[in-house]
Structure formats: C-alpha cells, structure tokens
Amino acid sequence: MKHLLSLYDLTVNDIEQILDLAVHLKADNRAGRAHHILKGKSLGMIFAKSSTRTRVSFEVGMYQLGGQALYLNSNDIQLGRGESIYDTANVLSRFLDGIMIRTYSQQDVEDLAKYGSISIINGLTDLLHPCQILADFQTIYEHKGRLKGKNVCYVGDGNNISNSLLYGCTKLGMNISVATPEGYECDAFVTERALDTAKSTGSKVILTQDPKEAIKNADVVITDTWVSMGQEEEKQERIKIFKDYTVTEELFNMADSEAIFMHCLPAYREYEVASEVIDGPRSVIFDEAENRLHVQKAVMALTMGD
C-alpha cells in the first residue's frame, strides 16, 4: 500500500491490516514500548485547512515512530500561489518520504500521488476523510468486538464523513443508513460506487431523509458538524434546514439499547447533537479522537516503511 487517498481504493485486506497494526501500536504505546519504524523518515504536512486533531496526531505519530514531521501551512509554500501541483509533487518527492495533505479538493490529493514518487496520505478533503473513518472503525471494533454485520447510522450533512462511511462500511460488510435533508445528500458518485460494492459484500444501505428510519437497530450512531470549513456564510440557512437532524436523547434512544455515539469533533452541542448524548455514558468521542493517532501511525508505517 503506497498511498491512502480514499477507502474505495483499499482492499478489505488493506483495511484489516491497518486496523490490526493500529490495535497493536496502541497497546504497545500504552505499555511504553516504542517502535521506531520510520527512523530517519520525514513527513511533510500540507494544511490548506486548519486542524487540531489532524496536526497533533500526525506530528506526534511521526515522533513516536522515530521520524519527523514538517508543518507546511498553505501560506508558507507556493502550492496554490502559482506553482503547479506537478512541480510541487516532484520537488517535495526529492526532500520527503511522504506527504499528508489536508485541503479542499480531492483532485489535489490524487494529483500529488500521480505526479510525485512518495507516499501521499489524505488528511481530509471536501469529498473524503479516510483517516477519520479508519479511526472510527478501530473504535467500533474496540467497543463492539467486530465490524462485519454491525449497523451504522449517520445523521446530518452529506459530507466527507458520510461519503467515507459509505465507502468503508460497504467494503467491510457493515450495514449503513444515512439520513440527510433533501438537497444535502451524499455525493452521487460516491453513493453509486458504494451501492455497487454492497452487492458483493452483502452490506445493506439505506439512504433516507428520515432520521427515525435511519436509526432503527443502529449499533453505532454518528453525526458531524452542519457547517464545515468553507461553508461559514451558509451557517444560518443550514441551521434552519438541519434543525430536525439533531441527535437528541429521544432520537438516540431509538437506536439499539447498547448503541454508542460517535462524532469526529469539533462538536457544536445543541446543534447536531444534544449535550445529554455527546456527554453521556454511551458517547465514545474521546476514544475515537485518540484512535486517530494510532490508526494514522499504522497508515504511515505501512505506506512509508521499508
């Protein structure tokens, strides 16, 4: 596995290998056992979008693996200010062993992989967020014991989280139900691919505008912010449109009695989720946040290691 651009590109074996390594790296980290798998390696981290979890988890992850990470703000480099991705990819390939990029366009990520000669990791785009979903899967495995056959419900905006859940769940034979308002559905191309994958893996996919329909029998309930970066001007309009998509305690109780709640953070309480749910006993948001570190270490080790 050279790159992580999209979960759609990975095989089931690839995903299982990442998760298995992440579980072992987490256990070893807690036991104080170090693995300098990437000693002498360097990761460039390009941020066109700001971040808390992505920057800290990748930077700490590289340190724990024995390598170093370089923070490259979009204001500090020429990408996006006249230099082509072709030139940037080729130049950085001479300096670095890998690039993690958090940006707007999925095409930028694809082009870095196309033109460069080093590993490219998608830290987030407007279309996809594969690292987050891998961390989600690790968290679900820890709390539910398995992934295949589990019922995942997503309520909210059809964004990079829900798109990546469609890809990941259908790859692994998990059932996925997504409730979004009309006009805010998941990407049509992603949905088409996921439905096709589901035919071969046996995943059940429900796409609806009704959160109550989506949440029935859910083992895992996931939501995300209604206003992603770059959508700030739409905030008031979106709040009105999504007002019936808050994961309230009443809605959450319609899921399985042992369902867990997940959110990739940052969260806006009383908008996409009620405080009683996100701060309640079945919320695993901080396990989920921690697992970004471990699963990304696994991704870096598998793509950048010798």
Residues with Cβ within 8 Å of residue 216, at least 6 apart in sequence = 177, 254, 255
Phi, psi of 182 (to 5 degrees): -60, 130
Q: Contact at 8 Å (CB) between 276 and 253?
A: no
Find tokens 């559905």 and name the residue.
185
Q: Is 292 one of the annotated active-site residues of the chain?
A: yes
Of 102, 238, 263, 294, catalytic: 102
- Is 296 known to be catalytic? no
Query: Could you say which of 153, 264, 294, 296 is catalytic?
Result: 264
What is the spatial distance between Cα 274 and Cα 67, in angstroms, rounded to a whole number?
40
Closest by CA position to 179, among listed 214, 227, 220, 218: 214
Beta partners for residue 120, in sequence order: 99
Tell me 79's DSSP state. Answer: B
264 is annotated as an active-site residue: yes
In 3-state terms, what secondary structure has residue 237?
Answer: helix
Please tell me the distance from the alpha carbon of residue 15 to that of residue 141, in angstroms, as a whole number: 13
Which one of the listed residues 97, 108, 157, 224 is annotated catalytic?
Answer: 224
Q: What angle do CA 282, 286, 288 make, to 5 degrees?
A: 90
DSSP SS3 for 152: strand
Residues whose CB is less than 8 angstroms from the CB of residue 60 and which lie 6 or more positions away in sequence, other chains included: 293
- What are the distances in angstroms from CA 58 to CA 65, 154, 188, 241? 10, 26, 31, 35
Q: CA end-to-end span of the chain, whole Å?
A: 12
- The single residue of 132, 157, 169, 219 carrying the catalytic annotation is 132
Distance CA 133, CA 62 (A): 20
Residue 238 annotated among the catalytic residues of the structure: no
The catalytic position among 3, 53, 129, 263 is 129
How far apart, in whole angstroms, are the C-alpha atoms of residue 149 and residue 140? 12
Residue 129 among the catalytic residues: yes
Among residues 187, 292, 294, 296, the one annotated as catalytic is: 292
The catalytic site residues sit at 102, 129, 132, 224, 264, 292
